[in-house]
Amino acid sequence: MGYFEYIQQYDHEQVVFCSDKASGLKAIIGIHNTTLGPALGGCRMKRYDNEQDALQDVLRLSRAMTYKSAMAGLNLGGGKTVVMLDHPEQKTPELLHALAKRIDMLHGTYIGAGDIGSDTRDLKTMKQVTPWVTGLAQEDGGLGDSSILTALGVFMGIKASVKARYNRDDMEGLKVVVQGAGKVGFNLIRHLVEAGCEIWLNDVSEKAMERVKAEYGQIHLIPAEAMFETEADIFSPNAVGNIITSELAQVLNVDIVAGGANNIIADETADLILKERNILYAPDFVINSGGVIMVASEIQGKTFDEARELTEAVYNRTLTVFMAAREENITTQEAAKRLAQRRIDAEKKTGRIHNASAEARIPVLH
């Protein structure tokens, strides 16, 4: 399959390949859909085995951002950037400036933010070159680390799942297997511990697990091979995407899957298997939207407390998705996509989006 066929398969508006020989920049910016507004999405900086993997990642992630923003009620579209790094030390100020220059060339059609491999310090460096980045530290005029509200949104989605699956408002004593103890996973664990959950944790980093254990001594650390075999109420993936394959969906020994990772479900067959096995899946782009809500709030000049209140609404949105799935007898993933697409289609009919530039729609960035 050629690149154009591949891109059209995901129905993207624009895919930009960026290169800078001096800094070593190799990046791809995916703009999936700008019907609701400028495409917003994080800048993921990591090692990829090849260009095809990087392209697939940016296409899937930017499409998910379209659904995420639509479901969150934001006037934003979906975008993403992936930067191919050979090693972490390659992320220099020169490379960040080169990336920011390429983002600036898009004149606000795409707005960058933090993601895996990028943080508030990187965004501050990029802000020196372009206004089209968001997610800055508080001392630099932003709302701070977006993983705080991403984790809160995931927790609200888990609470909604518990309500739907068990008709319980509390989570005391529920057994949760958590994959990933990074920024989102660590913050999520704090919410789960405070709610009285029992937690079994795995992370590829021993250091990350030791950090959690030092903070919460009651947590059980388990090896990777035990993670998918452990009987639990909830499995919460908060690391890499594509984790729930058809094979794993057949053997998972849980009632609920709900986590902060992007693109948790690897394929439609896995999605159907979860439904057939009565495993309730909280779609990731619905419940991990706290981060995009936070950076969108920063763009709009809202406070952290206002962003937090908007993120807490993930609870009701998740229940709405579950209700739609039951009524239409479809998977929760499909129900969420349909709800998001309906909002996008309704906006297309108005024609409003073709009459305003990105600059006019988000003037606060200037």
pLDDT in tens, 40-84: 999 999 999 999 999 999 999 999 999 999 999 999 999 999 999
Domains and CATH numbers, the chain: 3-65+77-136 (3.40.50.10860), 147-343 (3.40.50.720)
Compute the average pLDDT of residues 28-41.
97
Active site residue 101: no
Compute the average pLDDT of residues 276-285.
98
Compute the average pLDDT of residues 291-306.
95
Catalytic residue, chosen from 26, 68, 80, 183, is 80
Question: What are the two backbone dihedrals, phi and then psi, of residue 91, each rounded to the nearest 5 degrees?
Answer: -80, 85
Decide: 221 and 199 in contact? Cβ < 8 Å.
Answer: no
Per-residue pLDDT tens over the stretch 10-25: 899 999 999 999 999 9
**Which of the residue ranges 58-72, 115-129, 340-354 would you say has the lowest mean pLDDT?**
340-354
Q: Predicted confidence band at 358 (pLDDT cuts at 50, 70, 90)?
A: very low
Compute the average pLDDT of residues 245-259.
97
pLDDT at 95 over 90: yes
Decide: 54 and 84 in contact? Cβ < 8 Å.
Answer: yes
pLDDT value for 264: 97
* Burial profile 21-58: b = 16 or more Cβ within 10 angstroms, e = fewer: eebbbbbbbbbbbbbbbbbbbbbbbbebeeeeebbbbb
Show Cβ contacts of residue 23 under 8 Å, excluding neighbours closer than 6 positions: 92, 94, 95, 97, 98
pLDDT at 1 over 90: no
pLDDT at 364 over 50: no
DSSP state of 53: H
For residues 71 and 157, give the distance between their C-alpha atoms in angstroms, rounded to a whole number.
Answer: 13
pLDDT at 247 over 70: yes
Q: Predicted confidence band at 350 (pLDDT cuts at 50, 70, 90)?
A: confident
For residues 284 and 145, give the distance between their C-alpha atoms in angstroms, rounded to a whole number.
Answer: 19
For residues 198 and 177, give the distance between their C-alpha atoms in angstroms, rounded to a whole number.
Answer: 9
Q: Predicted confidence band at 365 (pLDDT cuts at 50, 70, 90)?
A: very low
pLDDT value for 2: 73
Show Cβ contacts of residue 120 under 8 Å, excluding neighbours closer than 6 positions: 114, 135, 136, 137, 140, 142, 144, 145
Per-residue pLDDT tens over the stretch 137-195: 999 999 998 999 999 999 999 999 999 999 999 999 999 999 999 999 999 999 999 99
pLDDT at 366 over 60: no
pLDDT value for 353: 53
For 234, the enclosing helix (H) or strand (E) is: strand 234-237
pLDDT value for 362: 41
pLDDT value for 363: 32
pLDDT value for 355: 36
Q: Predicted confidence band at 6 (pLDDT cuts at 50, 70, 90)?
A: confident
Decide: 248 and 224 in contact? Cβ < 8 Å.
Answer: no
For residues 170 and 204, give the distance between their C-alpha atoms in angstroms, rounded to a whole number.
Answer: 30
Decide: 3 and 321 in contact? Cβ < 8 Å.
Answer: no
For residues 196 and 183, give the distance between their C-alpha atoms in angstroms, rounded to a whole number.
Answer: 21
pLDDT value for 208: 95
Per-residue pLDDT tens over the stretch 193-219: 999 999 999 999 999 999 999 999 999
Compute the average pLDDT of residues 317-321.
98
pLDDT at 251 over 90: yes
pLDDT value for 311: 98
Question: How much of the chain, in percent, has pLDDT values that exceed 70?
Answer: 96
Count Cβ atoms within 10 A of the Cβ of residue 280 and give its class: 0-12 exposed, 13-18 middle, 19 or more buried. buried
